[in-house]
Structure 1
């Protein structure tokens, strides 16, 4: 009991959390930032190097792992999963623009901003169903961008 009270105070955990962890199969630390052992199915260094070699082949340089892995599977070769390819790329700082196409560029927003009412109005034309099948009405609507209130309308 003394140990439990010390754990609760020093780790800033509730007693209920400790009870849940122990019920789930042990006294292992369940916090997100706790140090944990490496998974048993983690890729070895040799396998990581093999993934890097495949990624750096000339015909794979401009392809994402979502296309490389199926292409390898068509050849009857399985090295690692698509997510493992992404993990290796991220680990070795290769998770950036690949290929001959242009990189994405950040462009300034072209939309308008309103800091108060009646600064920017927007409009829309919507089809409204009529009383008879196949008959529609046009709703012309003008809205204030800031307050989202209807400024004018016409059917």
Structure 2
């Protein structure tokens, strides 16, 4: 018989959510407590406590095919979400990672793309220096990404 020893997590698992009633209900809180999950809630009337979630919701809502009238059934909803996620990860160029797609970034192909962009900009600047009032755009790879950084993050990076 194979025995697997589970090491305890060094930090408790945390479920962060808005202040909605379902997430604050006693059944949910008791279940989380039984599972060793700590609850964390947004501050009231503060929409950017979970900035990454809010950002993707905004991107989602501004898509041309956003289903403002809802879905007719679960299959239609799943199909739309799948198409959105595919577009978001494989087509949409994200400004926070120098206008490459997450897929390109995760595959490690972004560095070559960024080096090529830098070369194109430098060549354009050399061929028409009067067009440029300063330096070309910075196409260096961004190593760390966050939304709504606090002052310590801005100073340390």
TM bin (shorter chain) = under 0.3
Whichever structure has more helix as a proportion of its residues is 2
Superposition TM-score, scaled by structure 2 size? 0.16
Superposition TM-score, scaled by structure 1 size? 0.17
Q: Which has the larger radius of gyration?
A: 1
